A and B are shown apart, each in its own frame.
Chain A
């Protein structure tokens, strides 16, 4: 126990031209359909998700199927491309079930189709059929575990298809719930008999939470207990790893908007952005943002290449990027002064999203525990 394990290969931490093209398409769509006033109005409505926006993103751009191989109906791209989509979604805090359905649920199902070599269920079982629907954007699914569940803490919440799971992100808009139980993983229709999805009041208005109660519900079995646990862990690992890119997008917007505002806002006969005390805080944030980009890219690349370093890359990215997003959002509110506290200004949406994201798929503390194990730095 003297030397740390070195990463097996040099990660590609840049963006390819294809990734930049994808970014441009997503950014243009979101600018058109998910600007801040639209997001605020939607967040307070009964239907927080804009179905038209989701169709344009999932189907028009093909973002929903990025992780799914072409033979299963997807785009055959990778986590690197999905990460770019999440950067843009973070930058707009647009309500869309991308992370939960197109990443976590999709990755969980991918593990069951033989893509991950876990269960040779093949390309024709129920998991593959559902995958094709998720990839096309015609249906969405969520993994029915609390949003705060870290990749390493993915024990089944239910003994069987009976009971309640609290705090499931995006469950209220999902067509299908992937329910891990002690008996295995089931696909349960959201409107099936014995299924109740009760919306909760979330801290983050732009990503609704719900409680799921099953009482005598029927589901399609997808995997036995062992394969289920492995698949859920893989789904949550991808979710945690790519959440770092969403956090990067949040932090980028918060910094850019704060810089823009403090250049224009005058107090004491000067732009407030010319005061060194404020400049240093923004410069520090910039340093955190460029660091978060390297960490998030590293996690996305490790997931995309199936690197054995992926668990550590994800833990490092989450342990770091959660704090950066929260710090950027908190500074954004503070440096906007009074206007930062108002409902009209979008800063609060970013603060709520950033704080909720810092708990999603495991807190920074939980991910540091994972680092302790993976980097062989054990507790006393």
Chain B
């Protein structure tokens, strides 16, 4: 860590960037490239890879300066998987060449990433995956099927886990790769969901050739590498303050205030209970954020997703009911492929249906409760009979 980099120094560098590349006259992509090259993309990353080897907390100073100057950001929502999952994994396990090749276009948003982890037969039991990668000279040949893959239709690259040794127990025979989504063996098919939209995809992999230079981490250590990805998936909270009524409680509270004719005593009691819980969840997130800034990360992050999933579902369920006649209607069942999940900009029916995914995606609530119980509370694991048996001998 370079001792010279403090809040004043990152502010100075940010102003220097803004002076050399005024946002008003610089193209969006050019500005983002210049920002990356100045080490102000993610200041805690190494120098030369978009960072300054600085404490993560200093990013706030950069972001505040840039926001004040109306500079473009890299639209973290659109490149969320690359930013939140691929990047930390490449940083942790990639070769120097991989880091140089992939991190800059990823951060700038020139290359979108997706995640080829889940399979129809391996969701929560992710290590049971059956997609095979077989060594062939300098390449690996991959065959299998992935599912629940958001952004696959827009992605240039994917992080992929595949089985490289079926004779080993399931956690030990997995390797981790970077997959080129333009390979002719990659077939992306929209997967229409409960909302009518195709936000996710199925991805069929047939004879996909991945050069060994696109492997991340040693052969057979893919599960360990995947843990880095999965940890980062669940630590997306913590960046910025959430305002009061900032989440799903906002629209339903506004409806309550603006339309007195919809109010009933029963819905009032439920609304107040959920309003209090949403406010407490906001405060819990704020406390977690303060812990991160103070350099004392707490385990609360593991639980926040659980809380928000349940709240989103209960609040949106109440909202549909509160709307009465209008709750019987739905905005649009036409199949579209949205770029973003937009909870607050859509109607209540959509929110109700889409929020059902919140307790499934990124780890089901049941699995997250196990993680809290075992890793935070230290409760014993359930007895398991799949840890020492070769993957090929497990019943599927």
Contacts and interface: CB of A to CB of B under 8 A. Distances in A.
B382 A297 contact: no
Interface in B247-291: 253-254, 256-258, 260, 263-265, 268-269, 271-273, 275-277, 279-281, 283-284, 286-287, 290-291
A311 B286 CA distance: 19
A295 B280 contact: yes
Label chain B's interface by main secondary structure.
helix
* Residue among A10, A378, A380 with the highest chain B CB neighbour number at 10 A: A380
A2 B258 CA distance: 7
A70 interface: no
B314 interface: no
B377 interface: yes
Given A279-B370, A283-B377, A294-B287, A380 B276 contact: no
Nearest to B256: A377
Contacts of B263: 378-380
B286 A294 contact: yes
B67 interface: no
B244 interface: yes
Contacts of B17: none
B369 A284 contact: yes
* Residue among A282, A293, A372, A377 with the highest chain B CB neighbour number at 10 A: A377
Given A14-B294, A287-B303, A282 B377 contact: yes
Contact of B286 (A13, A284, A319, A376): A13
A1 B272 CA distance: 16
Interface in A124-160: none
* Residue among B263, B306, B377 with the highest chain A CB neighbour number at 10 A: B377
A291 B283 CA distance: 8
A368 B276 contact: yes
A13 B382 contact: no
Contacts of B258: 1-2
Nearest to B284: A294
B380 A263 contact: yes
B88 to A, nearest CB: 24
Interface stretch (A193-201, A269-277, A348-356): A269-277
B276 A316 contact: yes
Contact of B380 (A11, A271, A292, A380): A271
B379 A273 contact: yes
B272 A290 contact: no
Given A2-B257, A375-B275, A377-B253, A276 B244 contact: no
Interface string A1-37: 1111111001111100000000000000000000000
Contacts of B383: 270, 274
* Residue among A6, A13, A263, A292 with the highest chain B CB neighbour number at 10 A: A13
A377 B272 contact: yes
A43 to B, nearest CB: 30
Given A14-B290, A320-B276, A291 B378 contact: no
Interface string B378-394: 11111100000000000
Interface of B: 241, 243-245, 253-254, 256-258, 260, 263-265, 268-269, 271-273, 275-277, 279-281, 283-284, 286-287, 290-291, 294, 296, 298-300, 303, 306-307, 366, 369-370, 372-374, 376-383
27 contacts: A5-B244, A10-B286, A11-B283, A12-B290, A259-B379, A274-B383, A276-B370, A279-B370, A279-B379, A280-B373, A282-B379, A286-B373, A286-B377, A287-B306, A287-B372, A290-B299, A292-B280, A294-B284, A294-B287, A316-B276, A320-B280, A368-B272, A368-B273, A372-B272, A377-B253, A377-B257, A377-B272
Given A284-B369, A291-B283, A368-B269, 5 more contacts: A4-B244, A5-B244, A14-B290, A270-B380, A377-B271
Interface of A: 1-7, 10-14, 259, 262-263, 270-271, 273-276, 279-280, 282-284, 286-287, 290-295, 297-298, 316, 319-320, 368, 371-372, 375-380
